[in-house]
Amino acid sequence: MQVLIADLRAEHDDLDALVGAAELDRPTPAAGWSIGDTIAHLWFFDREATTALVDPEAFTAGLEQIFADPESWMARTTQAGRDLGSTLPDVWRQTRADLVAALGAADPATKVPWYGPPMSPASFGTARMMEYWAHGQDVADALGRRREPTARLRHICHLGVRTRGFSYVVRGLDVPAGEVRVELLGPERETWSWGDPDAADRVTGDAEDFCLVVSQRRLVGDTGLAVTGPLATEWMAIAQVFAGGPTLTDEARHGL
């Protein structure tokens, strides 16, 4: 857990450095969202994540209202960040520090409620790291910057594999029987693998490309991933590593 928390802090710091002195009103590839809106989104859900960790009953009490009108609620979350104005960066930094502290104090055996299935604190921290990395890609694209991949991608790859079934369930589809073998090259050209080595259906290639696809920042055809077999092909077409309703490509950038 301490390694995960250190990696989460590093992901926070990398995005902070990327944002730097950038104009917060610069548009990102997420339609209607600026860099400032992206930071506001992360701030808001870091705050909610901290509540889920320290007061799960208070968090779950508001879920029914949220799910009754998710679009209006998402719009309100963006406006809440905009209302912070110039204080947003400092509030964001404090809120993510609160989240890290709450993760460090969490009972590893507990289940943390969220907008999708409840998770262990370790999975919860990994999900927040994925959000920072994915939305960090939006910021990098907005600034025309290329981020150097790190070994932290392994956390996101693991979550991407673990959420294969969720990608179907969230769309009201049956999860197909059969395994998909995933073999990816990390940034040091080390191999990371999941699933039956003998499975006919396979996804192979660069770990960063896999993260871009499962976070719906790139279409699989725009990456160098090799996808073999009907199960792998179907999964990569609908892969969704983040909570919330079913989304694809550009609309996914507003995920939770």
Residue where a domain stops, chosen among 147, 180, 204: 147
Predicted local distance difference test score (pLDDT) of residue 198: 97
Distance between CA atoms of 253 and 256, rounded to whole angstroms? Answer: 9
Q: At what angle do helices 207-214 and 121-143 cross, to 10 degrees?
A: 100
Please check whether residue 255 lies inside any domain of the structure.
Answer: no
Predicted local distance difference test score (pLDDT) of residue 249: 53
- Residues of the chain with pLDDT below 50 are 250-251, 253
Range of the structural domain that residue 174 is part of: 153-250
99 class by beta-carbon count within 10 Å (0-12 exposed, 13-18 middle, 19+ buried):
buried
Predicted local distance difference test score (pLDDT) of residue 243: 83
Please check whether residue 256 lies inside any domain of the structure.
Answer: no
Please check whether residue 183 lies inside any domain of the structure.
Answer: yes
Q: Taking Cα atoms as reference points, which of 184, 197, 180, 182 lies closest to residue 153?
A: 184
Average pLDDT score, the chain? 93
Tell me, yes or no, whether 234 and 189 share the same domain: yes
Residue where a domain stops, chosen among 105, 131, 147: 147
